[in-house]
Structures are given as C-alpha cells and as structure tokens.
Structure 1
Amino acid sequence: MSNILDGERHYGWISIVLHWLVGFLVIGAYFSGFQAGQIKEDFEMLEAQGNPALEQQIETLKGERSDLMRIHVGVASLFWLVLLARIVWRTRNGQLPAVPQQPEFLQHLAIWVPRLMLVLLTVMIFSGPMIIWSYGYPISPFGLFKIPSPTGPIDGLGGNLSAIHIWTGHILASLLLVHILGTLKHLVIDRNTRSLKRITSPKQPS
C-alpha cells in the first residue's frame, strides 16, 4: 500500500498515474482543438472568396475539422472523470513541498502553477460542453452515445464561450510549458533529479 498511496516525501502510484493522465489529455485536447481551429480559419477564408471551384477543397477541410473535433470532444470528455479524481485525491492528500534549495519565488511558482492549471482545466471542461449545447447540438464522446443539449440554442452565448475556451486553453498550455521548463531546470541546471523521480517512481524520496 505504501507504493499506492502518497507518503510524506513521495507520491504514490495513484498520484503519479493521475498526473500523467492529465498531462497527456491536456496535450491531446489542446493540439486537436488548436488544429481544428486552424482548419476552420482556412475554409472560412476560402468560403469568403466565393469561388465555386474551391467547394471540393472546402468540403474536404470541413471533413478534416469534423474528425478532429470528434477526437477533441472525446478526449475532453475523459477529463470529467480524470479531473474529478485528481481534485478529490489532491484535496485529500495535499501537495508535497516544493523541491528545496530553490529561490522562494520558484518554490511559490512550483506550488501555484499546478493549482492554476486545475482551475483552468475546470473552466475548460465546463465551457467546452456549453459551447456545443448553446448551439443546440448534443455532445457525442467518440460517437458512443449522445448527451442532448439541456438548454437548446442560446443566441450569442456560443461565441462568447468559445473565446473564453480558446484563451483559457492558450494560458493552460503556457502554464504547462512553465511546468515542463521547471522540471528541465532541475535536471539540466541544478543537476537535481528528485523533482522528476518523485513523479515517476513511488519509491524515490523528495
């Protein structure tokens, strides 16, 4: 059980698995959503030209975006369970202290960046479904089942929520980059592997 649960100086397997699950889901959701947004801009630019010869290309791009959005919605749907589990688990167990022998502001950064990421993830998993529902569409995770809109179409809401969702995603990606750079600093500059070891192995002390 000591390897499964958190200790005073190390994370257990539950925390480690939840940490990496959230990380990979964030990356998958961000890049699928970002690419879908880029494709949307591309076909909207082509549509604005009003050239009938571009219709086939536009339809192809729309199909590619639909495929990406199915992946994005499916991956994001997994957040509900994983993020809830992570919040409950972290609230129950607390957070290990930051790696010692660091400047005070870096120790505060190490504590608050993960907390801010959880807040932003919460905003995203609520705003994402509401965007779809505000247009009156159901949510269909990986096409397995449908969750109908509880609100029906709401004029103007989808656009505002999309802006919040997109910018929250960019801020979240930036914080994830800060998180990764912090780990690289420990490894490359400080020559300290404790930060990485305690989130990859339950047996390593912090």
Structure 2
Amino acid sequence: MQFNNHSSAYGWIAILIHWSMAIAIIGLAILGLWMVDLGYYSPWYQVAPFWHKSIGLLLIPLLLFRLYWRCRQPVPQPPKSHSDLERRLAHLTHRALYALLAVILTSGYLISTAKGEGISLFGWFEIPALISGLEQQADLAGQFHYWSAISVLTLTALHALGALKHHVYDRDTTLVRMLNPTISTHEDQ
C-alpha cells in the first residue's frame, strides 16, 4: 500500500486528507449557511453551532498536518499535456485555498471566543479563549468568516470543474490519481 507521495502519484495519506477536508468543508458550509437562519426556539439552535464549531476545530490540526505533509512529500508532476497557464492556475488555486482555510478557521475561532468563553470540542474538553474582547471582534471576524467561506466554495467549484475537465475532455489522470495512488502521470507523459 502506497502511503507516501512520489513524483508521479499521490499516496493514500494525501488522498485521505484531501477528501476528508473536502467533505468537511462542504458540510460545514452547508451547515453554516443553514444555521444562521435558525430561530431561537428551533431544536437545532444550539446543536448546529455545537457541531459546526467542533468539526471546525478538528480542521485546524488537519490543515496544519496537510501543510506539513505537503512540505515533506513530493508533489506529483502534472501531466505534460497541461499548459503553463493550467499549471500556474492550479498552483495559485491551491495556495489560495490553504490561505482562505486558515482565515476561515481563525475567524471562526475569533467569533466563538469574542465574549471570552472557550469552545467545547464535542463535549470532550474546552479550547480556551486566548483572544477576546476586541472591539467588534465577533462582527469583523464574522465578515471574514463568511466571505472567506464563499471564496473557498467558489474556488472549490472551479477546482472540481477543472478536475472534471481534465477527466472528461482531456482524458488525463488528474482526477483519477486523487482517487487511487496506483495511477501515475507517467501514462500522460
């Protein structure tokens, strides 16, 4: 079983992190957009934010590990059929996604700790409020959180469309190698 990346394919660890984060981010976005309209008397009024915050907190170490893993592992080379523009756009999109995820997670933490209260992680323990009481902390962090999330969803959609374009139109291994580490770009070269 191939756990590590190599120059022509992603390993299982990178694939698992990629898809875990993708599912969590899309799920959190749907939950977040739904829960802001909940009324006080809704049975989900406290449950939805509890899950949103807890899953969001889990994404912090996952994102940090993903960045660490990306620095320690080779990044598979794209197929030679990719143009320079496609390579640059993919590189910029990945960097923007990482930066925006860091903004989302940081701003989510700042929203939740604005009143000086910690955040419960699934009821197991509490993450303390290290930064609180800043002027308009929750409102400003909320704006960053919302617009960064919208930007991540937009970039994620473009990322997915690009992968589908490579799979359906170009018929290369761009999408498939993020599903199976035994697929390599050597077939495209």
- TM-score, normalisation: structure 2: 0.89
Contact 2:6 2:75 in 1 (8 A): no
Change (3 A) 1:156 1:104: same
2:92 alignment partner in structure 1: 112
For this pair of structures, how many residues does the alignment match? 185
1:74-113 mapped onto 2 (5 Å cutoff): 74-113=54-93
Q: Is the helix fraction higher in 1 or 2?
A: 1
Contact 1:137 1:149 in 2 (8 A): yes
Q: What is the alpha-carbon distance in structure 2 between the residues aligned to residue 82 and residue 157 of structure 1?
A: 25
Aligned residue identity for 1:97: Q
Check if 1:123 corresponds to 2:106: no
Contact 2:114 2:138 in 1 (8 A): yes
Contact 1:22 1:79 in 2 (8 A): yes
Q: CA deviation at 1:87?
A: 0.3
| Deviation string, structure 1 residues 156-206 (Cα, Å, up to 9, x no partner) | 1110110001100000111111111011111222233x1122111111111
Query: What SS does the aligned partner of 1:65 have?
Result: coil
Q: What is the alpha-carbon distance in structure 1 between the residues aligned to residue 72 and residue 131 of structure 2?
A: 34
Query: What SS does the aligned partner of 1:64 have?
Result: coil
Of the candidates 134, 142, 149, which is equivalent to residue 122 of structure 2? 142
Q: What is the alpha-carbon distance in structure 2 between the residues aligned to residue 118 and residue 102 of structure 1?
A: 22
Q: What is the alpha-carbon distance in structure 1 between the residues aligned to residue 72 and residue 137 of structure 2?
A: 36
Structure 2 unaligned blocks of 5 or more: none
Q: What is the alpha-carbon distance in structure 1 between the residues aligned to residue 134 and residue 110 of structure 2?
A: 10
RMSD: 1.7
Query: What SS does the aligned partner of 1:172 have?
Result: helix
Identical-residue share of aligned pairs (%): 28
1:64 alignment partner in structure 2: 44
Query: What SS does the aligned partner of 1:195 have?
Result: coil
Of the candidates 125, 148, 151, which is equivalent to residue 168 of structure 1? 148
